Amino acid sequence: MGALAPQPGSRYVRSRLTRALFARRMRLRPAEIATIKRLVAQVYGPQARVWLFGSQLDDRAQGGDIDLLVELPASADRAIWPELRLHEALERALGARKVDLLVHHEGDPEGPFVRIAKKQGVRL
């Protein structure tokens, strides 16, 4: 490896890994991904981050629900109504597909599902 080789952790390596994950593992169409990101931003704002995890990342699986983790800044509103509104909008926009939505605020303890979503999931 020469001096010009990408270093582990560099943006170049991360973007290549992300593209590989999307190309190989994700069963959502680009339009569905765009819809998810748009609806999350409409409800929670552009600072919200979204991960897809679960069966939608397994090419061998069929059907299945859409498991999403939405992570918000610690200062974000903790009311239940935005979460319910987002859940309904996602299921309606994605053709009545079942959506499991997990909302987490930065700084709060990470339960097992949040840890799994971040470790095994793909950030959209």
Q: What is the DSSP letter of 59?
A: T
Q: In this structure, is residue 7 part of a structural domain?
A: no
Q: In this structure, is residue 20 part of a structural domain?
A: no
pTM exceeds 0.85, yes or no: no
User: Residue 33 has what pLDDT?
Assistant: 92
Q: Look at the chain and report how many structural domains it folds into.
A: 1
Over residues 19-29, the pLDDT tens digits come to: 545 444 567 88
pLDDT exceeds 50 at position 77: yes
Mean pLDDT of the chain: 82
Answer yes or no: are the C-beta atoms of 124 and 36 closer than 8 Å. yes
Q: Of the candidates 119, 19, 3, which has an alpha carbon nearest to the alpha carbon of residue 69?
A: 119
Dihedrals phi, psi of 101, to nearest 5 degrees: -115, 125
Q: In this structure, is residue 6 part of a structural domain?
A: no
Answer yes or no: are the C-beta atoms of 52 and 121 closer than 8 Å. yes
| Mean pLDDT of the 9-37 span | 65
Which range marks the domain in which residue 36 is found? 27-123
| Mean pLDDT of the 26-38 span | 88
- The CATH number of the domain holding residue 78 is 3.30.460.10
User: Residue 18 has what pLDDT?
Assistant: 55
Q: In this structure, is residue 17 part of a structural domain?
A: no
Over residues 53-73, the pLDDT tens digits come to: 988 887 666 667 899 999 999
